[in-house]
């Protein structure tokens, strides 16, 4: 009887295991990443991914025509791992609208399947929409900005000769000193200008707004100034022709009481060193 009971127990466990569906974690699409604004839903992977420095997307807005927004675009498609429980559209939408509300954003459209949200963060106006079906959804995010004209080496040199300095629009990863890939053309123009003007010496100077700890702000501004210097030197400009300094929040050019003012204070400038 003991042997028979053991066989029955083993058979029962076997049937349970065979009937259970084990969730299999899928790999994210190569080169993809979550946007820092949203945490992905549980048991999801990135099926498709697109990132563009400047593109347009349309966002549904309640009571009016869709809003066409231009700027840096991210399009991230998520899908549930095989065997995992699939969330419904409403759960997906509520997850995202709650997340945006917690950090001061607004919901402009929500029909239970799709939603449009906006947020102003670090001086950027960000638009996001989620399009969902059962078990999968797509996030479209645009960091709004105007199309900027490429800055030439001649324009940088002329500004240094005329004003003695020039604020350069170098983009960094949030809270870090890592230069974003879209800023490489600007770095290349600085290199070209320095190579053409062999006697020119410049100081790279970093600045922040007054949000956060003054000591940390100064460290970040210094690290960003050094990152620009190192990127230029890496391309063949003599290190003895450049210096780097971070001023942190010590030299604001606008009122830190407004978001617009704080955005102007977060900057990197090239300053001509007088002989």
Tell me the per-residue pLDDT of 24-82, one tens digit each, with 9 for 90 and over.
889 999 999 999 999 999 999 999 999 998 899 999 999 888 999 988 999 999 999 99
Model's pTM, two decimal places?
0.53
The predicted pLDDT at position 145 comes to 78
Does any domain span residue 106?
yes
The predicted pLDDT at position 197 comes to 94
Does any domain span residue 135?
yes
Shared domain for 99 and 186, answered yes or no, is: no
Tell which wins on pLDDT, 87 or 71: 87
Shared domain for 229 and 187, answered yes or no, is: yes
The DSSP 8-state label assigned to residue 182 in this structure reads: G
Shared domain for 107 and 206, answered yes or no, is: no
* Helical ranges in 75-152 per DSSP H: 89-102
The DSSP line for 196-262 is H-TT--EEEEEE--SSS-HHHHHHHHHHHHHHHHHHHHHTT--GGGEEEEE-TTSS-SS-TTSHHHH
Does any domain span residue 36?
yes
Tens of pLDDT, residue by residue over 215-257, are 999 999 999 999 999 999 999 999 999 999 999 999 999 998 8
Does any domain span residue 69?
yes
Q: Which domain holds residue 119?
A: 21-144
CATH number at residue 158: 3.30.1330.60
Cα separation, 242 vs 235, in Å, equals 13
Does any domain span residue 9?
no
- Structural domains counted in the chain: 2
Boundary residue ending a domain (144, 172, 203):
144
Does any domain span residue 228?
yes
The predicted pLDDT at position 160 comes to 96
Tell which wins on pLDDT, 99 or 171: 99
Element (H, E) at 185: helix 184-196
Shared domain for 165 and 130, answered yes or no, is: no
Cα separation, 84 vs 80, in Å, equals 7
Give the model's confidence band at 196: pLDDT under 50 very low, under 70 low, under 90 confident, else very high: very high
Tens of pLDDT, residue by residue over 242-253, are 999 999 999 999
Does any domain span residue 30?
yes
Does any domain span residue 7?
no
Average pLDDT of the segment spanning 120-134: 90
Boundary residue ending a domain (86, 115, 144):
144
Residue 3 pLDDT > 50: no
């Amino acid at each position: 009887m003991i042997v028979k009971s053991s066989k029955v127990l083993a058979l029962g466990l076997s049937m349970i295991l065979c009937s259970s569906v084990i969730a299999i974690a899928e790999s994210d699409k190569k080169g993809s990443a979550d946007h820092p604004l949203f945490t992905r839903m549980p048991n999801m992977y990135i099926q498709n991914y697109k990132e563009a420095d400047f593109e347009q997307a349309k966002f549904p807005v309640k009571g009016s025509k869709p809003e066409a927004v231009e700027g840096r675009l991210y399009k991230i498609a998520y899908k549930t791992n095989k065997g995992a429980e699939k969330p419904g559209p409403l759960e997906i939408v509520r997850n995202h609208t709650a997340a945006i509300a917690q950090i001061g954003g607004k919901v402009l459209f929500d029909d239970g399947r799709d939603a449009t949200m906006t947020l102003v963060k670090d001086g950027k106006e960000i638009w996001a929409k989620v399009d969902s079906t059962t078990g999968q959804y797509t996030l479209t995010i645009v960091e709004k900005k105007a199309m900027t004209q490429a800055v030439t080496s001649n324009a940088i040199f002329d500004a240094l000769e005329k004003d003695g300095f020039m604020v350069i629009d170098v983009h960094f990863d949030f809270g870090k000193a890592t230069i974003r890939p879209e800023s490489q053309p600007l770095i290349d123009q600085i290199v070209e200008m320095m190579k053409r003007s062999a006697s020119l010496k410049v100081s790279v100077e970093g600045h922040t707004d007054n949000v956060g700890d003054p000591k940390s702000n100064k460290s970040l501004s210094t690290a960003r100034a050094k990152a620009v210097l190192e990127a230029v030197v890496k391309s063949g400009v003599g290190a003895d022709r450049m210096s780097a300094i971070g001023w942190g929040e010590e030299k604001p050019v606008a009122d830190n009481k407004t978001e617009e003012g704080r955005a102007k204070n977060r900057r990197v400038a090239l300053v001509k060193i007088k002989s």
